[in-house]
Amino acid sequence: MAKTRSTKDHQQYKRESKDHATLSDLYLNNVITRLTHISDDSARLLKRSKEITFQLQEDLMKLLNELYTVMKTYHMYHGETLNAETKLRDAERQVGPGGGVEPLFGMRIEERHQRRNAARKMEKMREKRKAKYSENKLKSLKARNEYLLTMEATNSSVFKYYIHDLPDIIDCCDLGYHSSLSRALKTYLSAELSLEASRRTGLEVLEGAVQAELTSRLQQLQSRLSTLKIENEEVKKTWGATLTTLQDMTVLDDYDVSQSFTHSPSSESVKSSVSDGYLNKPSLAKRRANQQETELFYFTKFREYLEGSNLISKLQAKHDLLKKAMAEGYIADTLTTSRGRKNSHSKHQHQGIFRVSGSQVEVNDIKNSFERGNDPLIDEENNHDINSVAGVLKLYFRGLENPLFPKERFNDLISCVCIESLYDRAQCIRKILLGVPRATLVVMRYLFAFLNHLSQYSDENMMDAGNLAIVFGPTLLPTPDALDQVACQAHVNEVIKTVILHHDNIFPDPPELPGPNL
């Protein structure tokens, strides 16, 4: 058996060595290459995006400079228009409201002629300034229109640059980045999960070899203990009989010497007989030899008994430890199968099973019995309350450090709920669950087969697949602390309900996955 385990260990070392070589090759030639390509693509896209950004900024600066030039032109023409308007107003004030024609009656002809010439000059100056004002006004209006058009175009360009162009440029910078990075990370996760699955498979093989060796060793210990206990019991009996014989030798009634102190004619002969009775050298030597021989045999058997009892004590300790370890290894199978047995011996119509709480004292008694490696439900005549038995099963799964459904696959399991087709959803869940350890998969297969069987009597027990999912969902598939438990609970219940209804399509058959089956 040890040779078999050594062979399994060697195979596991070879498997792990090959897996690590494969993982190294994947990281070197796949993941690192992907990340290098992502880095090169990002740098290239960033460079081109910067070139486009610089070009857009140059165009925007040209437009702003053009706006500044148009604005200066408009301000210049507007200023000239204001000056021309001021001069025109001065000329109009000089001409007067009557057009500069004053009454000429009573004047001499020379004065009248001078006045007319002056009026003509002022009128010509007014006309000239009016023409100048009109010309500047037209230029100012054109410049103003050009300024407004250019300002509107500039505002539109600035708005487009900051609202549309920059986001588009940023999108160009990470074009395909997230998709490529996602594929690289998924490649990494796939490699790690495959490595974990391979390691788990190898460990299951080792576990099987170790389990077989432990079972064989436990049987050998049981056989050796039975033989030693019988032999030690015989030694104990011999030792006890020898002790009785030795005690008989030490309690002889040869201590009465009162006759030696009587004073009568025959006292001399009495003294002589008393003295000779104990001090007779041949008799004393023989008695002493028998006593020493019996003592030697007694201590030999006593030592043999102590050595045997010490050996039994050590072997018994090893036996108990092995039995406890193997019992802990199979407690989940025992609990689940015993619970199924108990239900098969009970009425399926028990209303509110798994929802109604049982006696806490009885729950603790059953739980402690299982932890000691015993099966308190194996006796068909026991009177355990079915609600208490159901409570033990829920308590066990609730107390697991690692729940049946792996925590790291929570999001993957929840995402399966989005699949409308129930068959496709079941296949999605099956693909995820095939990655869990085989021992856990056996327990899950038995548990959900039992829950499916129980849900078939929902008309009597009021526990259909949906109600059972509500009871077992938080226990078998707890929501991570980082997520909203209220928001996720409906999806969790839907996953458990799907597994209950379609357990035949999700879990492998017994030929493919050996183990207890309902």
Best-predicted range by mean pLDDT (66-80, 124-138, 248-262, 383-397):
66-80
Domain boundary among 329, 350, 385: 329
Predicted confidence (pLDDT) per residue in 471-501, tens digit: 888 888 988 888 888 888 999 999 999 999 9
Is residue 237 in a domain? yes
Same domain, yes or no: 345 and 376:
yes
Residues comprising the chain, all counted: 518
Is residue 515 in a domain? no
Is residue 187 in a domain? no
Residue 405 carries which side chain, given as an amino acid letter?
Answer: F
pLDDT of residue 345: 43
* Domain range enclosing 263: 203-329
Instruction: Give the domain CATH number at 442.
Output: 1.10.555.10
Predicted confidence (pLDDT) per residue in 23-43, tens digit: 889 889 999 999 999 999 889
Same domain, yes or no: 92 and 165:
yes
Is residue 516 in a domain? no
Rounded Cα distance, 423 and 425, in Å: 5
Among 496, 501, 421, 491, CA closest to 458: 501
Same domain, yes or no: 321 and 358:
no
CA atoms within 13 A on the CB side of 188: 13
Same domain, yes or no: 110 and 161:
yes
Predicted confidence (pLDDT) per residue in 220-250, tens digit: 888 888 888 888 888 888 878 887 877 777 6
Same domain, yes or no: 122 and 268:
no
Same domain, yes or no: 485 and 353:
yes
Task: Please tell me whether residue 38 adopts helix, strand or coil conformation.
Answer: helix
Same domain, yes or no: 325 and 359:
no
Secondary structure string (H, E, C) spanning 333-347: HHHHHHHHHHHHCCC
Q: What percentage of the chain has pLDDT greater than the value 70?
A: 80
pTM: 0.49
Rounded Cα distance, 495 and 418, in Å: 10
Q: Residue 375 CB: number of other CB atoms within 10 A?
A: 16
Is the separation of the CB atoms in 71 and 147 below 8 Å?
Answer: yes
Same domain, yes or no: 342 and 311:
no
Contacts of 104 (CB under 8 A, 6+ apart): 112, 115, 116
Is residue 320 in a domain? yes
Rounded Cα distance, 393 and 338, in Å: 10
Mean pLDDT of the chain: 80
Is residue 106 in a domain? yes
Same domain, yes or no: 139 and 232:
no
Same domain, yes or no: 323 and 381:
no
State how far the alpha carbon of 291 is from the alpha carbons of 286, 287, 295, in Å. 9, 6, 6
Domain boundary among 291, 309, 329: 329
What is the total count of domains within the chain? 3
Is residue 155 in a domain? yes
Residue 508 has pLDDT above 50, yes or no: yes
Q: Residue 179 CB: number of other CB atoms within 10 A?
A: 11
Is residue 188 in a domain? no
Q: Which of 35-49, 108-122, 167-181, 262-276 has the lowest mean pLDDT?
A: 262-276
Domain boundary among 329, 361, 394: 329
For residues 36 and 259, the model is more confident at 36
Rounded Cα distance, 431 and 512, in Å: 15
Best-predicted range by mean pLDDT (237-251, 334-348, 377-391):
237-251
Predicted confidence (pLDDT) per residue in 118-154, tens digit: 777 778 887 888 888 888 889 889 989 999 999 999 9
Tokens 């993957």, located at residue = 412
Same domain, yes or no: 349 and 478:
yes
Same domain, yes or no: 223 and 212:
yes
pLDDT of residue 263: 60
CA angle 29, 32, 35 (to 5 degrees): 135
